[in-house]
Amino acid sequence: MTTTAEDVPRAGASEERSSAARSSRVTAVAAVVTLALLAGYAFVATTFTLPASPARPAVTQAFSPWFAQKWNVFAPNIMKVNRTLQIQVQWRENGELRTGDWVDVTDLEFASSRGIPMPSRISKNSFNAAQTYLSRYQALSDDQRARVRDTFIEATGGGFRPIAVDDLLDQIDDLGGSRAAVVRFLRYDYMMVRFASAFGTAFVDHDVERVRWRIAHDRPNDFDHRLDAERQTETSYTTFGWRQPAVAPSDEVVAIYDDVIERYRER
C-alpha cells in the first residue's frame, strides 16, 4: 500500500493523540499515588500525635520504626532527669534546738526566671551547684559515697564540732578510690556548707547551727507516656548528712539572700 501525502498528517495527528493520552494517564496515576501517600502520612502522623484512639496500637506497631520520635529528636543530649537542691537547717531558739523543713532552693530561684526569656544567671545558682557537686560525688568509690552521705560532725564533751579536714580526708581516703577525687569533693562540700548556711540563715532569720542538703531527682515520663496521668517513676533523693559551719556567713552575704527570698518566695 502506498502512503500518499494526504495520509501523513493523519498519522502524525494519531500519534500525537496517543502520546497525549499516555501522558494524561501517567499524570493521573502520579496524582493518585501522591494523594494516597499524603493521606497515609497524614493518617499516621495524626494517629501518633492525637490522644489515644482504637487505631493507635496497630499503627504504632506497623510504623513505629519509621515515624516514632523520642524527646531527643531535636536535642540529642537532652536532660532526662530534673534535679533540684533542697536544704534543711538547725538553729537554737531560746536555747532549744529547732529543725526546719526542707527548702527547695532551686525551685525558689527558678521563680525568678519564670516567664522571662533571658533570666539572670543567679536563677541557676543552686542548680549548677547541685550538678557539679553530684558529678564529684559520683567520682568516688561506693564505700566513699556511703561515708560522705553520713554526717561530718563529731561529739565533744559539751556538744558537737566539725571533724577536722585532715582527719576527714584520711577517713574517706582509707576507703579506697582516688585521693584526688576526695580532695575535689571535700572542697566543693565546704562550699556547699557555706552556701547552705548563708541561705538558711536568711530563710529562717536565725543563726544556723547545722545544715544538710539533698538532691531531688525527678524523671519525667518517657515520650511514649507523656500524656499519661500516672508517673512512671517517683522522685528520688540523694541525702547528705549534717554539717556544722566552721565560720558564720557575713551580714553582707545574708543580706543578698534576704533580698532573693523576699522577692521570689511567694511567686
Q: What is the pLDDT of residue 222?
A: 81
The average pLDDT across 123-142 equals 91
Q: What is the model's pTM?
A: 0.68
Greater pLDDT, 112 or 243: 243
Q: Are 84 and 106 in contact (CB under 8 A)?
A: yes
Amino acid, res. 125: N
User: Within 13 Å, how many C-alpha atoms sit on residue 241's CB side?
Assistant: 12
Note the pLDDT tens digit of each residue in 40-58. 777 766 766 666 667 667 7
User: What is the distance between the alpha carbons of residues 211 and 74, in angstroms, rounded to a whole number?
Assistant: 40
Domain ranges of the chain: 7-68, 75-264
Q: Report how far residue 244's alpha carbon sits from residue 212's, in angstroms, rounded to the nearest whole number.
A: 9
Spatial CA neighbour of 237 closest among 212, 211, 208: 212
Q: What one-character DSSP code corresponds to residue 1?
A: -
Across 151-166, average pLDDT: 90
Q: Which of 169, 90, 184, 201 is nearest to 135 (CA)?
A: 184
